[in-house]
Every structure is written in C-alpha cells, then in structure tokens.
C-alpha cells in the first residue's frame, strides 16, 4: 500500500484533492494503478498523459529515483496509511498523501507550535522572534517553521540552542536546500528534529509550492505565532490556514508608522491573540504549562536512569551539579557534536538535565 501511494504520486500533477478523488472512486492507490486508460480518462482531473503514465507504468523511473535517493541520504517517507504519520496532520483538509522527511518526524506531537514571519525582519522583529520562539522552546515544546530566511531561521535556531526538536517544512524537494545559506541549519535540524516536504526528488521548484506548504506548517501545530509580517508575507497564509484548521493564531503588534507589522495588525483585527512574550501563548494552555514548566523541580524515575545509554551516563556524570557550556562538554566528553547534542536532547527529555540560557546545561537529577 505504501509503495503504491508513492508510485501514484510519481505519476505527476496528482495533488491531494485528485489523489483523494481517485481513492474514493477506486478504493486504494493500488487499485488506481490497475485501471485501464478508458476508465482513468473518465475521472475529472486526469489528463491523457497522466493516464498513459499509469497504464504504461512509466512512473517507475521516478519512483526508483525517490527510493534510491532516500536510501543514499538516510531519508524516508510517510503516508496517511502509516501509524507514524503525524496524527495532527492526518485530519486537515488536503493532508499530503505523501510526506518525505529526513530526521525524526516523531518529535511532532499535539503540543508543537509554529513560529513564522517575514524573511526580512528588522531588529525589533528579530528580537521578538527570538524571545517568543526561545521562550516556547524552554518548555521543551517542538517548534515548527519553514526554514526560510529571517523569522523562520531564528525560530529553528532558538529551538536548537535549547536542545529542543524542531521541524522544517520546505517548499522544495529534500535534495534542494533553499536558501543555500541554510545548509548548516538544515543539517542541524535533521539531527535534532526533521526536515520534511511533500515535493518529490527531482520536482521543479515552483513559487506556488511555498504557499501550499504553509498548510502543512499550521497542520503540524497546535497554534501559529506570527512575530512580524507585512501585508504580503507568506506567514499570513500560514495563519489563515491555521484558522481554517481550527488552530489558534497569535500575532505580535508593532510600530504602525514603519509598516513592518501591517500583516500582524490585520490578523489581530481578524481575531488573533496579541502576544508580547512566550508566556502570552503558554498561558492559553495551563495544562501544557504545568506539565512542561522548566522551573518545576522534576524527579527522575529510577527506571529511566536504567534506560540511559553509555554516552548519556557519561555526560550526566560530567555535568554533576555544575552548569557547563556546551563547548566545555564537547571538549570533556570526546563525543562528536552530533552525538553530544543527541545525548543532551535525550537527557533533557528524560528529565535529567535542563538547557539554560547561553548554551549551558544544568543537571536537575
């Protein structure tokens, strides 16, 4: 079933709506691939070249390309038929039939938040984006964004600084890192979260794909925070998608004279909640804040201690009761940066350490 969905999406020009229409008509993707040209031609949206591709099975070449690339680069894909497909995404309108990803997409749960905004924030926008994304991440909450320049990149970095998972939803295939300057952050996200896309390897990069991916950003999130956006910002599309998906929308107000927040002000007039700090978001969810509050004194179940691997135990011993900078831990542990960040993330999830401001870690056991 899973490979049949990949095969069908490799036919080309089959989006979520046409995919659903085909499956409603024939039952499964496998059944669609068994149809003859005449039957397929009777389906609204199916063009002659698409029917030919299915009948002649010419989609196999593109399918093989996907499988080979994923195997070579350690990527994978999910369909709504898979148990690992994000549950919060499964029920949105136009849910992607196929989501290709690199990293660990299971870090997304029903508490993730999207932080989005303009590609060209001013100093105020940068500061507010960092404060709000960082404040949310302090509670161990996954940050979702689009890995674009500006606000998106700031949001991802704030999560990474705190060892918190972050998910980037791109408008390009996984083999095309855009913008190119984000290669480093792309690699970091893959290690401590996931980069995902509904675009297939080899697909052309089209402006419309960046707009379409915004529904996935909001669909993966409990709420969307727009920290700075002009009138034409793509972040507004994400916020409007969130509203349609019954997600909460938050917006940061700004200087009316400069015009850099006209999009945020529009959202506020439409009913978005005003945000000045991360607590303004988290206070809307008392159960979430109580469960994740980083200032609580947490204890560690001995069973969890027995579940620590060798690297995690060694790091916990190194940290002791002090607060150590990540560079110091890197030097003392002898671990690679990737292994160090992975071990610290697991220790934080298990309630053994806490990320402090300035890339420092404190043992709370």
pTM summary value = 0.80
Q: How confident is the model at residue 56, as a pLDDT?
A: 96
Rounded to an integer, what distance in angstroms lies between the CA atom of residue 121 and that of residue 79?
Answer: 35
Q: ∠ CA 311-184-250 to the nearest 5 degrees? A: 95
What are the pLDDT digits (tens) for 102-155?
999 988 888 899 999 999 999 999 999 999 999 999 998 999 999 999 999 999
Q: What is the DSSP string of 198-239?
A: SSPTT----HHHHHHTHHHHHHT-SEEEE-S--TT-HHHHHH
Radius of gyration of the chain (CA): 22
Of 329, 66, 131, which is closest to residue 348 (Cα–Cα)?
329
Which pLDDT belongs to residue 9? Answer: 97
- pLDDT category at 342 given cuts 50, 70, 90 is confident
Residue 295 pLDDT: 47
Q: pLDDT tens, 248-291?
A: 999 999 999 888 999 999 999 999 999 999 999 999 987 776 65
Which has the closest alpha carbon to 115: 196, 236, 224?
Answer: 224
C-alpha closest to that of 176 among 203, 145, 209: 203
Task: Identify which of 348, 351, 304 has the alpha carbon closest to the alpha carbon of residue 159.
Answer: 348
Query: Is there a contact between 114 and 227 (Cβ–Cβ < 8 Å)?
Result: no
The DSSP bridge partners found for residue 146 are none
Q: What is the rounded distance in angstroms from the CA atom of residue 315 to the CA atom of residue 317?
A: 5
CA-to-CA distance for 261 and 259, rounded, in angstroms?
5
């Amino acid at each position: 079933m899973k490979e049949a969905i990949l095969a069908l999406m490799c036919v080309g020009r089959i989006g979520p709506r046409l995919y659903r229409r085909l499956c409603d008509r024939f039952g499964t993707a496998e059944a669609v691939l068994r149809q003859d040209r005449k039957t397929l031609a009777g389906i609204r949206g199916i063009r002659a070249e698409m029917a030919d591709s299915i009948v002649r099975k010419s989609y196999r070449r593109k399918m093989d390309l996907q499988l080979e690339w994923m195997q070579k680069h350690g990527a994978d894909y999910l369909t709504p038929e898979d148990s690992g497909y994000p549950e919060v995404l499964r029920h949105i309108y136009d849910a992607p039939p196929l989501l290709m990803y690199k990293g660990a997409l299971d870090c997304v749960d029903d508490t993730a938040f999207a932080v989005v905004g303009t590609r060209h924030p001013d100093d105020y926008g940068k500061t507010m984006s960092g404060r709000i994304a960082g404040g949310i991440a302090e509670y161990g909450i996954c940050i979702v964004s689009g890995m674009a320049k500006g606000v998106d990149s700031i949001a991802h970095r704030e999560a990474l600084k705190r060892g918190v998972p972050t998910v980037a939803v791109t408008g390009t295939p996984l083999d095309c890192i855009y913008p190119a300057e984000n290669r480093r952050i792309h690699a970091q996200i893959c290690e401590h979260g996931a980069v995902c896309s509904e675009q297939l390897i080899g697909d052309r990069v089209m402006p419309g794909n960046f707009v379409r991916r915004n529904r996935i950003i909001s669909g993966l999130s409990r709420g969307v925070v727009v920290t700075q956006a002009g009138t034409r910002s793509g972040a507004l599309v994400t916020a409007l998608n969130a509203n349609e998906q019954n997600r909460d929308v938050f917006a940061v107000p700004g200087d009316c004279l400069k015009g850099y927040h006209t999009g945020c002000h529009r959202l506020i007039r439409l009913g978005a909640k005003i945000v000045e700090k991360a607590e303004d978001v988290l206070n809307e969810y008392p159960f979430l804040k109580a469960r994740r509050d980083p200032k609580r004194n947490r204890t560690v179940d001995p069973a969890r201690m027995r579940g620590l691997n060798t690297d995690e135990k060694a790091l916990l011993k190194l940290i002791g009761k002090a607060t150590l900078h990540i560079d110091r831990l890197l030097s003392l542990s002898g671990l690679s940066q990737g292994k160090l960040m992975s071990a610290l993330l697991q220790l934080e999830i298990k309630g053994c350490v806490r990320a402090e401001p300035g890339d420092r870690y404190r043992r709370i056991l």
